[in-house]
Structure 1
Amino acid sequence: MILDRRDLLIRTLGGVLAIGLPRGVLAQTDVERVDALIAKMTIEEKAGQMTCLADSFRPFNPPNPQVGIQDARRLADEVRKGRVGCLFNGIGVAGARRAQEIAVRDSRLGIPLLFAGDVIHGLKTIFPVPLAEASSFDPDLCQRTARAMAVEATAAGLHLTFAPMVDVARDQRWGRVVEGAGEDVTLTGLLSAARIRGFQGRDLRRDDSLLACPKHFAAYGAVAAGLEYGNVDISDETLRETHLPPFGQAFAAGALTTMAAFNEINGVPATADRELLTDILRGEMQFRGFVFSDYTADEELVAHGFAQDDRDAARLAVLAGVDMSMQSGLYIRYLPDLVKSGAVPMATVDVAVRRILYVKAAIGLFDNPYRSLDEAAEKTRIFTPAHRALAREAAARSVVLLKNDGLLPIDPARGQKIALIGPFADDTANLYGPWAFYGDPGKGVDIATGLRAALPDGATLTVTHGSAVNAPIDGGIAQAVAAAKAADIVLLAIGESQAMSGEAQSRTVIEIPPAQQALADAVAATGKPVAVLLRHGRALALHGGVANAQAILATWFLGSQAGHAIADILLGRVDPSGKLPVSFPWESGQEPFYYDRKSTGRPVVDDRTEYKARYATTDNSARFPFGHGLTYTDFVLDRLTLSDTALRWDAAIEVTARITNKGKRKGSEVVQLYTRDRVASRTRPIRELKRMARVTLAPGESRTIRFSLSRRDLEFVGAKSQRIAEPGAFDLWVGQSSVGGLKGAFTLYALPEAG
């Protein structure tokens, strides 16, 4: 018997809290087992199930501050007493089996542990950082790489990953831009859902299914000034229109856990925000899983000035709807007394424990506590040739050709002398990017190695650093200039180190570090043709010898196969097809900047008009806009056609356009459809991405691209925070970026009144 979600609701604290997983996930026997366990559990054992601690049974990788880390002996005693429900960020089957044996055999109730970890873009095979992979604009690719990550992570003894990050990031100063899919709501939702399908697979009980945990709920990408852990002051309309929809797609894709954000929203920290975590998340969005706090975020309610002390922080978090406390240990310390005193109802605790146990049941832990703890799988499913091949494909698909004045691709048959210059020329320490701490840096392929493997004669390549990442090298520029003068082509490998992106890496200036900028300017002064290979985890403001180079490629942090993938692109073995998921500004001071901004009452018309919405020092536009990306061939769009210029309320219109490859090479293009609501009861963005389609064409080949639009695609959040669509005129564009394109128009008509 499968229970309907309506059968799994209880009323407490004056509101309805959903505690049932979606239909089909749990069987009647699972529910009965959980009911029986909860009836037997003490309040200490319940608080234990709600506690997630760092895994000391196996090598723990410390991406976070070292707070409350316990030695293995003490942690084993806590597990034995039933005071831990989840361990995180340790990998290795042997250690996990030891921990699980203690939980199952030695604890009173034998409830198995859940093993979690930060597998953000790979375990041992490191794939491109999520922002880079978002450049593919390809949900299928994201699903395939997530599936490979799940295969490796579960082989290493994990059940859950704290990914994907689905925060829409509008300010490139924020370091965690690198961890998401960029600045657009539609793209973020599509790719996040694809990653969840990849992580979890089709059957949650399979030993290679990895639970996903979309994060951070909510609006973390809107922190003021891009400052990590900062506050968010936001309208309800913007919260619901920009920051919640990707979570809705993530939950629809089957995610059974989520993580509360570090930030506050309008004065209330998310970890203590009952309206957010209960009314919106469980009520409106019908989320049926359980909520993690972020790392010690419940404890941090005291520093926020929202909780009086740790005990009060635990009370606020659990009443808000945080089911599992991560690393602070507040729940195991304070919940028993909070329940005894009546400050927290036992029913509230039972709801949280039930959610957690339901998820453990859903992945088959009660039937097989040792699932995903197979030493044979650990030896055969990690860093496989197939995964490395996929990492190379994903890396090449993630490269964005920002500019090309005919310099690329390089023809290796010409035997040209190539000078590879810059701190990242043969660097292996910064290939992976942040959040790849399980990977082995010694197994990554650097640019020089990749090029030498691809060139017919490796001797045509010379390598010179020229500068360090943040400091000059004595004589470095002179050596680089000499190498450039002796070469036919210069490849300039510059940008950010991986320590400059990620959590706690907010930056006020998003530019090439001064030492590298000086190197670039000196090399440019030689007059030799330069192709810049940017390494970065965010959009950058480019200047001087970097901006004026003959070719510029956004190569991000591409992972294990970075060098091979970059060589594939440079030598034309693979045609670049990536598109920017973030806008590159002219200057750092434009941030926050994003393509779907509002026009204002004084939009810029031309460069000569004053008293318009522009900066005194630069235009209010992007150097390289969202959706931009060149190829080695020439794609042309024409023949835009709408099936009807009238969109009926409950109907749809078909939009078609022809794309032709007029170049001499086979290539791929991502065709994008944008709309604008001309007049509405709330001002609307100048453009909004609604559809995208990837097409691969041979030289001279044409194809018709088809999109369908309905009223649902035109909805927005209006008065009283309700999603609405309003009749009226709309513009649309079919193009190759968020700027330009073929333009059309249609009118949405209201549903005729009855009678």
Structure 2
Amino acid sequence: MRKSGYIFIGVVLLFIYSSCQMNEQTNNASEIDNKVEALIQQMTLDEKIGQMCQVNGGQGHDESIRNGAIGSILNEVDPVNINRLQKIALEESRLGIPIIVARDVIHGFKTVFPIPLGQAATWNPELVQEGCRIAAKEASSTGVKWTFAPMIDISRDARWGRIAESLGEDPYLTSVLGAAMVKGFQGDSLNDQTSIVACAKHFAGYGAAEGGRDYNSTLIPPRELRDIYLPPFKAAVDAGVRTFMSGFNDIDGVPSTGSEFLFRQVLREEWQFDGFVVSDWASPWEMINHGFVADEKEAAKRSIIAGVNMEMATTTYRDNIKALLDEGALDIKIIDQAVREILRVKFELGLFDNPYIAEESQNQFAKAEYLEAAKQAASQSMVLLKNDEKLLPLKSTQKIALIGPMANQAYEQLGTWIFDGDSTLSITPLTALQNEFGKDKVLFAEGMSISRTRHNKGFRQAIKQAKKSDVIVFVGGEESILSGEAHSRANIDLPGVQNDLIKELKKTGKPLILVVMAGRPLTIGEISKYADAVIYAWHPGTMGGPALADILSGKYNPSGKLPVTFPKVVGQIPMYYNHKNTGRPANPDSWTQMYDIPVKAPQTSLGNESHYIDAGYEPLYPFGYGLSYTTYEYSELTINKTNFNRDETIEVSFNIENTGEFDGVEIAQLYVRDLVGNVSRPVKELKAFKRISLQKGEQSTISMEVKVSDLAFHNIEMEKVVEAGEFQLWIGGDSNATLSTKFTVN
């Protein structure tokens, strides 16, 4: 038989297999829907309301579960107690509806991975997915079957504490990694015992909190909402996410929890989402504080009408739904639909058939392969920002002075949102460097007991150790409590007297490596001048120490790239790469620093351009930036043609060569600019990226693809279109890429 015949048969078999899978999925969905409808018909109003209520864990819920008055419990992680509560729900309640146990499993359970912002610096969706799969396995072994992650709020303000929990500033990168997290948590099937339901949060725009102050109002134009803030949530829906969470913020005066536009129009009508929505903690009640509703009854009404199925923690639903129905303010159909969507997910999760945690499945924590994956994630997350005179990697013969408040902090390196993290599993930089270089080669002095220390009592010992060393490794940053929810900072320099200690250490004349563990980009521009090398380690999790030791020793060549722009000073915020050009863009040839302006210079002497006279217009480090121990050269950029129709694909090819002395991994990034639109367009937008492994001296031809349809945006009429016209395309190692070409869309 000819090869074409085999190919034809293969295609037919693949079609039959795919059709069978689709039919099986359709049949399963129909079967679940039938079960849900049968259950809805049997439920009393009290039982329906109960499904819409989520309560915090603890004592005193037995009778409510027995009466069908609770649909979900959060913050319960004892498998014995969870089995006991499920037994009450399944065997002692009238209809036997299981509860769903929820927990914030954000970047690991017992085995803690880097904070999400650190994971974003890996630019590695497969690794991010694996981390969430491991977190799901550990959490599900205790009975937790629902997590409030991923957080896919676009985050452009480093002052905002929850930037640590985000995937950065870019819609495309956040979409790709957010989808990977959904797939990791939910696995191949929700019915798998090790799968947990993911929750896309916070819908929507929470990351744009004014002034970086948590819970604050957001002022997002409709076009920016559609083009910047919503795409990651649509990607989560496409990845199969089964729950959403409303945000605390209001957008243009409408709290997210009460927004029919977000949950009815966008989520359900436009995106056809059929999972369910949970409020954030007490967010229906908080609409009273917003001044959006007068009382709890109105809060319940507006939330339910908006499309929020389940209320977290507070009781406005439980206390007011009956009265609202009696008054005609709510229709029973909207209650039935809300319950229908909750029950559907419970059936999909297999809770009706397999509600209990088997003893042999319990407490499956910190396996060797889990720790290795956490180490790999930490290694890939760390970003080399500076390496003067090729100071790194260190030589095995060098004596190291390890100094700083984060050098031996097993708990602090785990970062924010680690309710179940086990700090006894953490391996700190001190332990790891002693293991790598030998105890006699590592001289330790913390210098400061915590990152916020404001006295210099520990300086003397630190300087003493530095003088006896060949090189100083200063591990500073911020403790985990200084970032995360409700931990916004107006000043994002290194806290305490860290800057003072670094300056004193530099006076010893020894080379200094600055390692920063933090939950956000810090304004390290001035102090980094005192460092010969800088590594940004974020909060790296359980295996942060070994990952850092591998990088310092050269066992691992850094490959991390920044998922956010680093400002020079806090006054530049918000600062992000995909900004608009303005009518008077900054000109690098005409910018004059404030102290260089002549006295009594005329008003127009600086050209009247868009920049700060004291900080310029450039960031400290751009989005996508990250160095390596080797160097890469891009060349020979070509595209398959120069004129495209809207249904075609742009095929990009380029050469990349490892021109340095180490094997390495480069993350090539593809950016596009729509040069003229009927509304102004960003100066660059990330549209694709690829991790490329190259041995020293190796050259490779790399291909990437971008669909022309992915160039769409919302025009002046708020229609999503790809406009005809000229586009510019760049390839390079960060958002300042210069190798470019142009093409047109017909």
Of 374, 391, 394, 1:391 maps to 374
The aligned residue for residue 301 of structure 1 is 287
What residue in structure 1 maps to residue 650 of structure 2? 653
CA distance in 2, matches of 1:461, 1:206: 47
Q: Deviations over 1:273-293 (max 9, x none)?
A: 111111111111211110000
The residue number in structure 2 matching 1:557 is: 539
| AA in 2 matched with 1:536 | A
What's 1:576 paired with?
A: 558
Instruction: Provide the C-alpha distance between the structure 1 equivalents of 2:327 and 2:588, rounded to a whole number of angstroms.
Output: 68
| Aligned residue type for 2:50 | G
Match of 1:420 in 2: 402
Aligned counterparts of 2:459 and 2:419: Cα–Cα separation in 1? 33
Unaligned runs of 5+ in 1: 1-21, 57-71, 750-755
1:458 paired residue number: 439
Q: For 2:30 and 2:641, how far apart are their aligned partners in 1?
A: 51
Give the C-alpha shift of residue 26 in structure 1: 4.0
d(CA) in 2 for partners of 1:28 and 1:743? Answer: 51
Report what 1:591 is aligned to: 573
Q: Which amino acid aligns with 1:53?
A: V
C-alpha displacement of 1:236: 0.6
Q: Measure the CA separation in 2 of the matches of 1:478 and 1:740.
A: 45
Tell me if 1:36 matches 2:38: yes
Contact 2:451 2:496 in 1 (8 A): no
Distance 1:228 1:411 in 2: 41
Q: Is the 8 A contact 1:166 1:192 kept in 2?
A: yes
Partners of 1:27 and 1:118 in 2: CA distance: 28
Amino acid at match of 1:42: T
Quote the sequence identity (%): 40
Distance change (3 Å), C-alpha of 1:572 and 1:25: farther
Amino acid at match of 1:521: K
User: 1:186-216: per-residue Cα shift (whole Å, max 9, x none)?
Assistant: 0000000011111111111110111100100
Provide, for residues 278-329 of structure 1, a one-character-per-residue CA deviation record: whole Å limited to 9, x for no partner.
1111111211110000001111111111111111111111111100000002
Taking the aligned partners of 1:494 and 1:25, their CA distance within structure 2 comes to: 56
Letter of the aligned partner of 2:375 in structure 1?
Answer: R
1:591-642 CA distances to partner (integer Å, 9 max, x unpaired)?
1111111111111112534211001211111111110001111111111112
**Matched AA of 2:370:** H
Give the C-alpha shift of residue 33 in structure 1. 2.0
The structural deviation recorded for 1:408 is: 4.0
Aligned residues: 707
Out of 712-721 and 108-117, give the one that drifted further.
712-721
1:234 to 214, 220, 234: 220
Shift in Å, 1:341? 2.2
* Cα distance in 2 between the residues matched to 1:353 and 1:439: 33
Distance 1:233 1:720 in 2: 20
Instruction: Tell me which amino acid in the other structure corresponds to 1:255.
Output: V
Q: Deviations over 1:109-154 (max 9, x none)?
A: 1111111110000110001111001001111111111111111111
Q: Contact 2:392–2:533 (CA<8 Å) still a contact in 1?
A: no
- Aligned pair 1:624/2:617, yes or no? no
Q: Does 1:170 align with 2:153?
A: no
CA distance in 2, matches of 1:388, 1:596: 36
Contact 1:26-1:361 within 8 A present in 2 as well? no
- Answering whether residue 658 of structure 2 is matched by residue 675 of structure 1, we say no
Please say if residues 517 and 546 of structure 1, whose CA atoms lie closer than 8 Å, have aligned partners that are also in contact.
no
Aligned: 1:505 with 2:487: yes
Partner deviation per Cα, 1:560-613 (whole Å, 9 max, x = no partner): 111111101110111100000011111111111111111111111125342110
Per-residue deviation, 1:710? 3.0
Deviations 1:680-705 (A, max 9, x none): 11111111101101100111111111
Residue matched to 2:143: 157
| Pair 1:642-2:623 in alignment | no
Alpha-carbon distance between aligned partners in 1 of 2:236 and 2:31, rounded to the nearest angstrom: 27
Instruction: State the match for 1:691 in structure 2.
Output: 688
Structure-2 change in CA distance of 1:412 and 1:174 (3 Å)? same
RMSD: 1.4
Are residues 1:325 and 2:311 paired?
yes
Deviations 1:375-432 (A, max 9, x none): 21114x221111011101111010000111134434443x211001111111112011
Corresponding residue to 2:430 among 422, 443, 448: 448
CA deviation digits over 1:693-748, x for unaligned, max 9?
11001111111111123321211111232211111111111000001331111111
Letter in 2 for 1:361: F
The 3-state SS of whatever aligns with 1:140 is: helix
Give 2:57's aligned amino acid: D
Whole-angstrom distance in 2 between the partners of 1:748 and 1:520: 53
Aligned-partner Cα distance in 1 for 2:149–2:457: 44
TM norm structure 1: 0.92
Moved more, 214-223 or 538-547: 538-547
* Partner residue of 1:210 out of 196, 213, 221: 196
**Residue 48 of structure 1 aligns to a residue in which SS?**
helix
Q: Distance in 1 between matches of 2:622 and 2:526?
A: 19
Residue 518 of structure 1: aligned partner: 500
SS in 2 for 1:298: helix
Q: How many angstroms apart in 1 are the aligned matches of 2:635 and 2:106?
A: 40
**Conserved? CA contact 1:466–1:473, under 8 Å:** no
d(CA) in 1 for partners of 2:476 and 2:566? 16
Contact between 2:456 and 2:497, CA under 8 Å: does it hold in 1? no
Other structure's SS at 1:463 match: strand
Of residues 351, 358, 371, the one that matches 1:374 is 358
Letter in structure 1 aligned against 2:39: L
Match of 1:285 among 268, 271, 281: 271
- C-alpha displacement of 1:23: 6.0
What's the secondary structure of 2:692's corresponding residue? strand
Q: Aligned equivalents of 1:27 and 1:709: distance in 2? A: 34
Between the aligned partners of 1:536 and 1:412, the Cα distance in structure 2 is 27
Kept in 1: contact 2:393–2:551 (CA 8 A): no
Query: Partner of 1:409 in structure 2?
Result: 392
Q: Deviations over 1:425-465 (max 9, x none)?
A: 1111201100011011122111100111111x211111111
2:590 aligned residue: 608
What TM-score do you get using the length of structure 2 for normalisation? 0.93
- The answer as to 2:477 corresponding to 1:475 is no
In 2, the alpha carbon distance for the partners of 1:546 and 1:421 equals: 16
| Alpha-carbon distance in 2 for matches of 1:544, 1:483 | 24
Displacement of 1:92 in angstroms is 2.3
Distance 1:338 1:496, change over 3 A: same
Aligned AA for 2:328? G
What residue number does 1:243 align with? 229
Give, in whole Å, the separation in 2 of the partners of 1:620 and 1:412. 38
In the TM superposition, residue 254 of structure 1 has moved relative to its aligned partner by 0.5
Alpha-carbon separation, structure 1, partners of 2:293 and 2:68: 28
Q: What residue identity is the alignment partner of 2:368? A: P
Out of 716, 721, 725, the position equivalent to 2:722 is: 725
Whole-angstrom distance in 2 between the partners of 1:636 and 1:620: 27
Whether the 8 Å contact between 1:577 and 1:630 is mirrored in structure 2 is yes
Aligned partner of 1:79 among 53, 61, 65: 65
Mapped to 2, the partners of 1:678 and 1:278 lie a distance apart of 35
Letter of the structure 2 residue corresponding to residue 556 of structure 1: W
Deviation at 1:651, TM superposition (A): 2.1
Q: Which residue of 2 aligns with 1:532?
A: 514
2:209 matched to 1:223? Answer: yes
Secondary structure of the corresponding residue to residue 454 of structure 1: helix
Contact 1:240 1:721 in 2 (8 A): no
Measure, in 1, the Cα distance between the counterparts of 2:190 and 2:572.
Answer: 44
Deviates more, 1:470-479 or 1:305-314: 470-479
CA distance in 1, matches of 2:33, 2:172: 36
- Tell me the residue number matched to 1:705: 702
Is the contact made by 1:491 and 1:531 (CA closer than 8 Å) also made in structure 2?
A: yes
2-side partners of 1:566 and 1:91: how far apart? Answer: 32
